[in-house]
Amino acid sequence: MSNKQQPVIVGLDIGTTKVVAIAGRKNEFGKVEILGFGRADSAGVSHGVVMNIEECIRSILQAIEKCLISNPQLEIKEVYVGIAGQHIKSMQTRGDRVRVNTEEEISKEDIDMLVRDQYKTFIPAGDQIIDIIPQDFTIDSTAYVTNPIGMSGVKIGANFHLITGDRHAIRNIKRCVDKAHLITRDLVLQPLASAAAVMSDEDLEAGVAIVDIGGGTTDMAVFYDGILRHTAVIPYAGVNITNDIRQGLGVLKAQAEQMKVQFGTALAQEANASAYITIPGLRGLQPKEISVRSLAEIIEARVEEILDYVVYHLKQLDLDNRLHGGIILTGGGARLKHISQLTQFKTGLNVRIGTPNEHLAGGHIEALMDPMYATCIGLILRGYNDFESGRLQFTGEGNVYLPIGGKEVEVEIPQEILPKNLSEEEVVEEEIEEKEERQQSSPKHNEKVKSMINMFKGKFMEMFGEMDDQRME
């Protein structure tokens, strides 16, 4: 496929501190050429959750506008959106399906139906399934099959990793994108997008933990034996470090953020004990001098707390000593000085900083060779994976599946599983109609139940009558 035939895919990373929009297209060498880049300060988002719709929309529009300014020839209509937040949860499920046409080889449609069945999985009320990721398959008695397509078998099963989130939080993110005049092509968990950007096939085989330290949350994805084993969202990240500095040293939030970026380090023992930072006083007050060592001690305490969560999740999986690929730190928090040394000390694993440069072609490489852009680059890679595989992707709302590069295909999914895109008035009207239908059908239903009871009653009476006759004889 020529470069011009490749679609332009846009990743939109809506974070707590920043909103990034990057447009990219693959070249003939399989590398992503950056066609547009835009970044804006995030407003209205706290810990990955939209708190103010209007401010969030404004931030999205600013990022998209800057992306279009960087390349006026771009036309941005559809985006892949990263999602994170404290409401994100994960669970393991198992699914099996008996095939009808056993003489035919297992096809992609069989896998799609098996995945589709998982949308019937019971999840807590108010939650919604974001993604379903197959881990390994079983064909009849053959376990641990990685790709069953083309094989023969009667029963096909698989272990799945389900990612769920609060339905209203998901709708709020989608509503912000919709009101920014964009179409959400797919919602992707941010640590999985980051993993696609910074992880190689060797890392996948050796086993790694991707730790994405963002502004509002620290996202985690653990891979072992080539399979996604676990995802988690840790509710502490860069914003918490900034707030600790602000409260501990008595400075403004902007000053705390600037000190963290310019002078911060995750290892207090590496800080210069004799160095001081001078902060201008407020309204004629005397300037304040702050010790660089004190700043580092505050930062180290919070980073250690984040890493304690990382170690806890690894121990729950019994993988704290078995990840030969170690830990890959990414996200804006990975730029903190000496954080890799502290992580290695706390976890006992090899640590490296993950940047998305491996998948990038020329152009904006120097500007984007930064761990904070790994999620957005990963969203583009996710889009190309969908496009090249042609697989159906659940859009997160309604019962529509989108074959990438094709037309919309309606798929029959039980309506009680997936939320409808209805306004409040339509919801009320639908509830009234359903109530009237139930009232109209209830007499007929009652008559059927009565006739069935009478029929069974007659059968039982005949049985007991026969038994009594036998006893009399």
Q: What average pLDDT is seen over the chain?
A: 83
CA–CA gap between residue 277 and residue 259 (Å, rounded): 8
Pairing of strands 409-410, 400-403: antiparallel
Q: What is the pLDDT of residues 329-361, one digit of tens each?
A: 999 999 999 999 999 999 999 999 999 888 888
* Alpha-carbon radius of gyration of the chain: 27
CA–CA gap between residue 175 and residue 31 (Å, rounded): 32
CA–CA gap between residue 333 and residue 125 (Å, rounded): 34
Which pLDDT belongs to residue 390?
Answer: 67
Give the model's confidence band at 276: pLDDT under 50 very low, under 70 low, under 90 confident, else very high.
Answer: very high
Q: Do domains 89-165 and 201-354 have the same CATH topology?
A: no
- CATH number given to 89-165: 3.30.1490.110
Mean pLDDT, range 427-452, rounded to an integer = 47
CA–CA gap between residue 382 and residue 386 (Å, rounded): 6
CA–CA gap between residue 226 and residue 357 (Å, rounded): 22
Give the model's confidence band at 416: pLDDT under 50 very low, under 70 low, under 90 confident, else very high.
Answer: very low
**Phi then psi for 54, rounded to 5 degrees?**
-65, -45
CA–CA gap between residue 12 and residue 310 (Å, rounded): 26
Q: What is the pLDDT of residues 133-150, one digit of tens each?
A: 999 999 998 998 988 999
Q: What is the pLDDT of residues 2-57, one digit of tens each?
A: 555 688 999 999 999 999 999 999 988 888 999 999 999 999 999 889 999 999 99
Pairing of strands 45-46, 49-50: antiparallel
- Indicate the domain borders of the chain: 89-165, 201-354
- What is the pTM (predicted TM-score) of this model? 0.79
CA–CA gap between residue 23 and residue 377 (Å, rounded): 9
**Which CATH number is 201-354's, of 3.20.20.150, 3.30.2420.10, 3.30.420.40, 1.20.120.1760?**
3.30.420.40
Question: In angstroms, what CA-CA distances link 415 with 167, 265, 432, 437?
Answer: 15, 52, 17, 17
Residue 448: burial class (beta carbons within 10 Å; 0-12, 13-18, 19+): exposed
Name the one residue in this structure whose structure tokens are 């994170």.
84
